[in-house]
Structure formats: C-alpha cells, structure tokens
Chain A
C-alpha cells in the first residue's frame, strides 16, 4: 500500500536517528537494533536502512561516518549522530508526538461519532 510506504519512509529517518542517538553503530548493527526494537511494521530492511544512512550523512549532514579497521577482514563503517542530527531528532520527535496525539484525537472523535 503506497500510503503505508510513505508513512514508513518518514518514520524510518526518525527511527535511525533515534537508534544512533544511543551511540555510534555500523549498518548491520543499525538493522539489527531496529529489528529488536520495532514491530513488524517498522522492521526496516537493509535496502531501506543503508540508503537512508548515506542520505542522512551526505547532503543533510545529520550523521558522520568513520571506517573502523580493528578487524581487517571485516571493516565497519560506524555512523554517529552530529549536533545537527540531534537538533533534527529533537524537533522530529516533538512533531511526531504532536502528530500522533492529534491523529488519535481526530480518529477517536470521528470513529466514535454520530453512528
């Protein structure tokens, strides 16, 4: 369903920023942590997570990345949240909470309406 995809896309950025606000992680770790904390709807696949990580890092500058070669056979690209990323996370969280509350009100009123 196109509508659910669009919601998911918007939520995914917020979810990734929230996960990385807990500390730096590499791609696979982010995917796993999202799977742990999210339910079926928001369990993001790697095909969604990696492009988003790159986009948040690239033009938007919300993330930084650094290669870690502690295990040379498995170099890991660690992503960490920037100051701009923290600001974005803060305002996105507030918006999300407001939206969720307002939508709950609307749905509550409209679905328990005259009929």
Chain B
C-alpha cells in the first residue's frame, strides 16, 4: 500500500472521531485538500514528506474537525472539540447500562428464580453504570490534560478512548443493511418452517407468529435502509420495533425453554424425540436450558434498548441539524469498502 495513502487515511481516521454523524463528505473534501496541498509542496510530486507537511499545515485533528464541522462554541468545562465524541461515548456507556438495567428488571427475577438466588441485579448494574460514566468523563478530561504530542497521523490515548463512540452512531452501510435483510428474512422463514413448528412447546407456539412478523418487519426495515439509507422515519420505525421486542420478551420470560421436541436422525430417517424424557433422566440439564433461554432473552432486551437509545439520539441529532422525517442517501461506510478504497488509493466511500 502507498505510504502517502497510509498517512492520509490514518489522519482522516483521527479527524473522523471528532466529527458529527454523516460527515463522510467532509473527510473526502479534507483528503482531496491534503493531496493537492502535498502536490503543491512537493512541486508536482505527492511524497510522504510532502503529505506530512500538508497534514502539519492543516493542524490537529480535533481542531480541524471542530473548524470544519463549524460548531465553534464552548460548552461548559468540556473543550468544544471534545463535545461530539464525548457525548457519543457517554451515550454508548449509558445505552449499554440502560439496556442492562431494563433486561435485569424484565428477565432478572426469572433468572434469580431459575438459579434460586440473587436479588438487586438492577441496583448493582445501575451503580456500575454510574461509576463507569464518572470514570469515562474523568479519564477523557485527564487524558486530554496529560496528552503528549505525537505525529498528527498517530492515534493518541484520547483518540482511542473516544473512538468507542464513533462506530455505533454511524449510519449502517448498504452492505451491512443488505446482509441484515437476508439474515432476518431467513430467520422469519425458519421460525415458521413446517419442520420447526412441531418442536415448539405449547406455551411458546402462541408467540411464534408474532416473532415471525417482527423478524419480517425487521427484514423490510433493513431492506429500506439498503435502498434509501438512514432517515428519521426509518429510525422511528426501528424504535417502535425495538419497543415491541421488549414487550414480547416480557411475555416470553414465562414460557420457559421454547422447545419440547428435537429431531433425531438415524438409519437414514429422522423422527421427533421428546426433550422432556431426556430432562427426566438428567434434571440439571433443565436448569441449564432455562438459564440459556433467559440469557438469550436478556440479550434481546439489552440490544433492543440499545437500538432504541441510538435511534433516539440520532433522531435528535438529525432534527438538530435541520433534517425532516424523510430523505435518502445517508449510508455509512462499511469496513470492507473502506479497506478496499484504502488499498486502491481512493477516498473514503
């Protein structure tokens, strides 16, 4: 790979951390600026030395991002260039925390009952999240104060800390949205497939159509994201779907392990085997299956709350920058396409 491209991409990676959502066009503009400036410095040649000089002229990534995004306002004690990435990182930690708390409240008692112990999961999670947030803010401000100056293309400790918030708040790429469409579509078909339906317990079977419909709607949403990109309407739909998932989990908590039969294949033929018979011979296995099921539900709640938090934050941000309900063309950059572009000396896709 070209050394000059490496230097520019590493620098742009640092600038990206401090830019708001959907600023990829700014990165393309900065990249072209650097190449042209380096060409002028190198008298027609874009050499690594000329690129480094052009980068030095452009300046510190934090300042550049702040200038280019044009915020330019101070916000309390936090340096203005840190506001965007710090808010994102706090939202990430808070989002995970709220997800864990909600899941603990919904699924925690059932897990406690299954294990025959434990209480106050929500309280301990809440304490951990609050401590985590305080540590994050203290760490960011501390590192900012102590930060040593390196090359402009080298990520600092502060960059690495704040990079936590960069990924989740980027719009989904077309590639990831199309993969999600296929996976969710397959999931929707599988849960109602004639060979799977006989396996469900009577308690769980009641919810199967709802699960299939939710998976199908999620697939349609991913298809819309692939075709039109992210916008406020699709984000709101995502919030509604996530809320329905959370409600569904609150009902599924009481069904227990969802299957009572399993397929067993031998001598070239397959037949149904009752799981209850296996469990009768091995009682601890029942507890293990219940805990696995509850852990899966716990994860669904955490992810759904997380999705809700991220979607609401994005809607607030998009409204703040004057976007309405519907627009097209906001896709993120998939890591695969970014890697290919970097290898070929192209700008960020």
B residues bordering A, Cβ < 8 Å? Answer: 25-26, 28-29, 31-33, 35-37, 40, 58-59, 63-64, 67-70, 72, 322, 345-347
Q: Do residues B33 and A46 form an inter-chain contact, with CB atoms below 8 A?
A: yes
- The total of interchain contacts (Cβ-Cβ below 8 angstroms) comes to 52
A73 at the interface (CB under 8 A from B): yes
Interface pair B70/A54, CB less than 8 Å apart: yes
Q: Is A28 an interface residue when CB atoms closer than 8 A count as contact?
A: yes
B32 with A75: CB separation less than 8 A: yes
Given contact pairs A47-B64, A47-B67, A59-B322, A74 touches B36 in the complex (Cβ within 8 A): yes
Measured CB to CB, the closest approach of chain B to A53, in angstroms, equals 9
Q: With contacts A50-B67, A51-B67 known, is A75 near B36, CB below 8 A?
A: no
Are A28 and B36 in contact, CB atoms less than 8 angstroms apart? yes
Which A residues touch B31, using CB under 8 A?
A: 74
Per-position binary interface string of chain A over residues 14-33, scored 1 when its CB falls under 8 Å from any chain B CB and 0 otherwise: 00000000000011100110
A46 to B29, CA, bound (A): 11
Measured in the bound complex, the distance between the Cα atoms of B198 and A54 in whole Å is 60
What CA separation (Å) do A72 and B32 show in the bound complex? Answer: 10
Does A86 make an interface contact (CB < 8 A)? no
Residue from B28, B29, B40 within 8 A of A50 (CB atoms) = B29
Interface string of A68-102 (1 = CB under 8 A from B): 00001111110000000000000000000000000
Check if A55 is an interface residue, CB within 8 A of chain B: yes
B37, A28: Cβ atoms closer than 8 Å: yes
Q: Which residue of B lies closest to A74 (CB)?
A: B32
Interface class of chain B by DSSP: helix
| B347 neighbours in A (Cβ, 8 Å) | 73-75
**Are B58 and A46 closer than 8 Å at their CB atoms?**
yes
The residues of B that contact A55 with a CB separation of less than 8 Å are 70
Q: How far is the CA of A72 from the CA of B59 in the complex (A)?
A: 25
| Least Cβ–Cβ distance between A44 and chain B, in angstroms | 12
List B contacts of A48 (CB < 8 A).
Answer: 67
**A67 CA to B58 CA in the complex, in Å?**
22
Contact A73 B70 (CB under 8 A): no
Could you tell me the distance between the alpha carbons of A67 and B63 in the complex, rounded to whole angstroms? 25
A76 pairs with B32, CB closer than 8 A: yes
Known: A28-B32, A28-B36, A46-B58. A73 touches B67 (CB 8 A): no
A34 vs B172: C-alpha distance in the bound complex, in angstroms?
38
Instruction: Please measure, in the bound complex, the distance between the C-alpha atom of A73 and the C-alpha atom of B2, giving whole angstroms.
Output: 13
Neighbouring B residues of A51 by C-beta, 8 Å? 67-70, 72
B58 / chain A contacts, CB cutoff of 8 Å: 46
Inter-subunit contact B29/A77 (CB<8 Å): yes
Known: A46-B58, A47-B63. A77 touches B28 (CB 8 A): yes
